[in-house]
């Protein structure tokens, strides 16, 4: 009888030691009559994620008992745990960060062995040109150069270099600068310049951003700028120093002048005379064939007036 009691006590002791030896909250990997699930393949998607990507997992697993499988997923960025779940977005992610996931399968009865994915690296995001700005806004045959600037979107905040391919008079210009000097091309009114802009972040080029520039009609302008003319008021003959950069014909008119002063409408010559005065003003307008004009005011002063 004493021997039987001793055997019972030994059995109860072993049972208590077994239960006490299992830590509280520890995942059970073995259940009698059950086979734990197994992860066969594990991959992070997309294969080349960027800072804008939603990152997820492709998991292939199996369970010999055909039990439904769920997963516990831990995400790591640069070996620091940053989240859980089948997919994630991380606002602090940067180009070059390294990511992997650790996945543990569960069949409702026991946990399988955890499996770690291969490590992937956050790739460069291709920059994108949103718009271009042309300086100056209007181009004439007298414009010395044109500069193209661009508004660029780059989630990686890389330093951007703007590259422009120019086509002038159907000739591709080898210069890829965003500045084009116009004087050397002998441009005329209505000539077209086409360009294609690219943003380069040191690794990738943006999609091409095409634009078109047209040489506009230039208004008349001065050969020499003057506002005071030394001339005998009673005997005036003065060709106006005004010309048209596009070589368009000009029409001249007097806007204001004393009586006795006239203008040659085709040649732009002020002539006539005014008596009993040593100084007076005339205002003229020169208009080209496209309607662009220049207005100017001159003071006629006698050569003897100081």
pLDDT > 90? residue 175: no
pLDDT tens column, 250-283? 999 999 999 999 999 999 999 998 887 778 899 9
d(CA 169, CA 186): 10
Residue 38 lies in a domain: yes
pLDDT at 304: 60
Task: Identify the bridge partners of residue 221 per DSSP, sorted by sequence position.
Answer: 243
Torsion on CA atoms 73, 77, 82, 83, rounded to nearest 10 = -30
Of the three residues 214, 238, 257, the one that is the final residue of a domain is 214
HSE toward the beta carbon, residue 144, CA cutoff 13 A: 0
Residue 278 lies in a domain: yes
For the chain, the C-alpha Rg in angstroms (whole number) is: 43
As for how many domains the chain has, the answer is 3
Q: Are residues 250 and 209 in the same domain?
A: no
- Phi, psi of 203, rounded to the nearest 5 degrees: -130, -40
Q: Are residues 112 and 41 in the same domain?
A: yes
For the chain, give the number of residues.
Answer: 306
pLDDT at 129: 98
Q: Are residues 134 and 151 in the same domain?
A: yes
pLDDT tens column, 1-43? 444 343 333 333 333 333 434 444 456 667 788 999 999 999 9
More confident position, 106 or 15: 106
Q: CATH number for the domain including 161?
A: 2.60.40.10
Residue 13 lies in a domain: no
pLDDT at 137: 92
Q: Are residues 34 and 114 in the same domain?
A: yes
Q: Are residues 261 and 229 in the same domain?
A: yes
**Within 10 Å of residue 65's Cβ, how many Cβ atoms?**
13
Residue 5 lies in a domain: no
pLDDT tens column, 186-220? 999 999 999 999 999 999 999 999 999 999 999 99
Q: Are residues 53 and 105 in the same domain?
A: yes
User: 255 to each of 153, 164, 192, 227, 283, how far by Cα in Å?
Assistant: 52, 46, 36, 16, 5
Q: Are residues 76 and 114 in the same domain?
A: yes
Q: CATH number for the domain including 82?
A: 2.60.40
Percent of the chain residues past pLDDT 90, beyond the cut: 71
Q: Are residues 225 and 243 in the same domain?
A: yes
Residue 289 lies in a domain: yes
pLDDT at 20: 39
d(CA 43, CA 119): 9
Residue 20 lies in a domain: no
pLDDT at 84: 92
pLDDT band with cut points at 50, 70 and 90 for residue 100: very high
Q: CATH number for the domain including 232?
A: 2.60.40.60
The residue segments making up the domain with residue 245 are: 221-301
d(CA 14, CA 81): 39
pLDDT tens column, 135-167? 999 999 999 999 999 999 999 999 999 999 999
| pTM listed for this prediction | 0.71
Strand bridging mode 161-168 / 192-200:
antiparallel
Of the three residues 184, 214, 244, the one that is the final residue of a domain is 214
| Closest residue by Cα to residue 223 from 204, 198, 239, 242 | 242
Of the three residues 214, 243, 267, the one that is the final residue of a domain is 214
**Within 10 Å of residue 148's Cβ, how many Cβ atoms?**
20
- Phi, psi of 7, rounded to the nearest 5 degrees: -65, -40
| Closest residue by Cα to residue 51 from 18, 95, 112, 15 | 95
Q: Are residues 49 and 80 in the same domain?
A: yes
pLDDT at 43: 94
pLDDT at 3: 45
Q: Are residues 102 and 34 in the same domain?
A: yes
Which residues, 6+ apart, have CB-to-CB distance to 98 below 8 Å? 77, 78, 79, 119, 120, 121, 122
Residue 7 lies in a domain: no
- Phi, psi of 73, rounded to the nearest 5 degrees: -120, 130
Q: Are residues 67 and 113 in the same domain?
A: yes
Residue 84 lies in a domain: yes
Q: Are residues 268 and 297 in the same domain?
A: yes
162 token code pair: 């703007």
pLDDT > 60? residue 174: yes
């Amino acid at each position: 009888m004493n021997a039987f009691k001793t055997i019972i006590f030994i059995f109860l002791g072993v049972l208590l030691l077994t239960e006490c030896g299992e830590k509280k909250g520890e995942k059970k990997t073995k259940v009698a009559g059950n086979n734990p699930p197994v992860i066969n393949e594990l991959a992070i998607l997309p294969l080349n994620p960027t800072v804008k990507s939603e990152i997820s997992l492709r998991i292939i697993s199996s369970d010999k008992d055909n039990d439904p499988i769920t997963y516990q997923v831990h995400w790591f960025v640069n070996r620091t745990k940053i989240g859980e779940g089948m997919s994630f977005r991380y606002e602090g992610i940067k180009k070059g960060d390294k990511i992997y996931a650790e996945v543990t399968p569960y069949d409702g009865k026991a946990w399988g062995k955890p499996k770690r994915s291969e490590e992937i690296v956050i790739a460069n995001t291709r920059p994108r040109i949103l718009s271009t700005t042309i300086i100056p806004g209007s181009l004439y045959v007298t414009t010395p150069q044109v500069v193209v600037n661009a508004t660029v979107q780059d989630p990686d905040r890389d330093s951007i270099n703007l590259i422009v391919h120019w086509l002038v008079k159907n000739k591709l210009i080898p210069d890829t600068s965003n500045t084009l000097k116009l004087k050397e091309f002998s441009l005329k009114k209505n000539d077209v310049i086409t360009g294609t802009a690219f943003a380069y972040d040191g690794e990738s080029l943006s999609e091409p951003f095409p634009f078109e520039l047209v040489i506009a009609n230039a208004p008349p302008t001065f050969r020499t700028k003057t506002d005071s003319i030394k001339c005998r008021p009673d005997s005036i003959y003065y060709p106006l120093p005004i010309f048209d950069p596009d070589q368009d014909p000009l029409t001249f008119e007097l806007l204001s002048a004393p009586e006795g002063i006239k203008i040659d409408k085709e040649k732009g010559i002020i002539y006539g005379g005014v008596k009993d005065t040593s100084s007076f003003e005339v205002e003229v307008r020169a208009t080209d064939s496209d309607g662009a004009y220049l207005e100017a005011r001159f003071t006629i002063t006698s050569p003897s007036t100081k």
